[in-house]
Amino acid sequence: MGDRRSIFIGKKPLHAYVRAVVMAMEEGDRELQLVARGATIGRAVDVAEICRRRNGIIAQGLPEEVVIGNISCTSEIFKQDDNRDRTVSVLTIELDGVGELPLEEE
């Protein structure tokens, strides 16, 4: 299996990340992964669920089915300015687009 295109989840509104998933799948990347750290993990779960359910106007541009694949939870250690280590949780959610994209209306 090839490398998946990663979409890093931050503090932008949900629809910005849903749109990023739609755009990636329109460009032919049907295997994606959402990557979130720390406080943005909940937002990544919401984005995955919106895409899976194809909920909302933006998500209607997704393929017929979006499948949530492997979900992995790890942690990373970052050095802070005062040389202390800080551990941050990292969640990765794989999304697979299956089927045809909807036809664009003219």
The pTM assigned to this predicted structure is: 0.88
pLDDT tens readout for residues 21-36: 999 999 999 999 999 9
pLDDT tens readout for residues 46-100: 999 999 998 888 888 899 899 999 999 999 998 888 889 999 999 999 999 998 8
Name beta bridge partners: 7: 34
Four-point Cα dihedral 55, 59, 64, 70, nearest 10: -80
Q: What is the pLDDT of residue 104?
A: 64
Cα of first residue to Cα of last residue in the chain, in angstroms, is: 36
CATH number at 10 reads: 3.30.110.20
Domain range enclosing 13:
5-98
8 pLDDT exceeds 90?
yes
Structural domain count, the chain = 1
In a domain, 46, yes or no: yes
In a domain, 104, yes or no: no
In a domain, 29, yes or no: yes
In a domain, 105, yes or no: no
In a domain, 49, yes or no: yes
Per-residue burial over 69-105, b = 16 or more CB atoms within 10 Å of its CB, e = otherwise: eeeeeeeeeeeeeeeeeeeeeebbbbbebeeeeeeee
In a domain, 106, yes or no: no
